[in-house]
Amino acid sequence: MSEKPTLVVDAKGLVCPMPILKAKKAIDSVQIGQVMELVATDPGSMADFKAWTRSTGHELLEARDEGGVYTYVIRRKK
């Protein structure tokens, strides 16, 4: 990742819909253009975050699975 996140959110141990709800609350606390990183352990979160960023207009810069720990890097767009 080339850009340091403004905010890192820990959603490990939470299941749907909690990682998305934490992301929604957290993304509202950063300024437009800033980057948030969220870490989760819910395997369904990969599809959830792709759909959430598409529907909200935020930019999913990175989504990676590192042995069951999912990291999402999201730029606030609006």
Report the alpha-carbon distance of residue 21 to residue 32 in Å, rounded: 19
Exposed / middle / buried, residue 45 (Cβ in 10 Å: 0-12, 13-18, 19+):
buried
Is 43 among the catalytic positions?
no
- Please tell me which residue in 7, 14, 16, 46 is annotated as part of the active site: 16
Q: Are strands 35-40 and 59-65 parallel, antiparallel or unpaired?
A: unpaired
Catalytic annotation, residues: 16
